[in-house]
Amino acid sequence: SAEAQFTKSLYAYTAGRTDTTDFTRNPDSHDNANRFLNHGNYLAYGLGATALWVLGIPHGFALMHGKTRRGALVFDAADLIKDAIVLPWAFISARYGRQDKEFRQICLQKFTEHKALDFIFDQIKHQSRSIPEERDGI
């Protein structure tokens, strides 16, 4: 997909900028960059789930991630912030030898600093308003 290709290009760019050699995204890998990406993504999923819960939208409602993937809308909501916040800080933290706890603190600080939860709320509300309403059974 175009989204996957874009994210791969971001991995390559960020790996290059942080002198990370031979990076391949593998959620099962134990290298710091992959571990931090996993940790940060789960934090982003938490923000996505929170926004959906507060808005009363079922987190399993599928849009971009398919009709059968459990929690699909959480992934869509998290995607709004993952590439901009989690991805670069995972590589930066790996480059400078940060510990897991330090990385989580950085993510939480950056989520707050950039008002990530507000952004997710605003985007979900904006997108839901742009869906045409059904009229007279049509």
| Domains (range + CATH), the chain | 2-20+37-128 (1.20.120.920)
* pLDDT tens per residue across all 138 residues of the chain: 888 899 999 999 999 999 999 999 999 999 999 999 999 999 999 999 999 999 998 877 766 545 555 657 898 899 999 999 999 999 999 999 999 999 999 999 999 999 999 999 999 999 888 766 655 554
Contact between 31 and 40 under an 8 Å Cβ cutoff? The reply is: no
- Model-wide pTM > 0.95: no
Task: Classify residue 29 by burial, with Cβ atoms within 10 Å: 0-12, 13-18, 19+.
Answer: middle
Task: Take residue 79 and report the two structure tokens written for it.
Answer: 């995607």
14 Rama class: left (phi>0) / alpha (psi -120 to 50) / beta:
alpha
Best CA proximity match to 86, nearest among 27, 122, 124, 42: 42
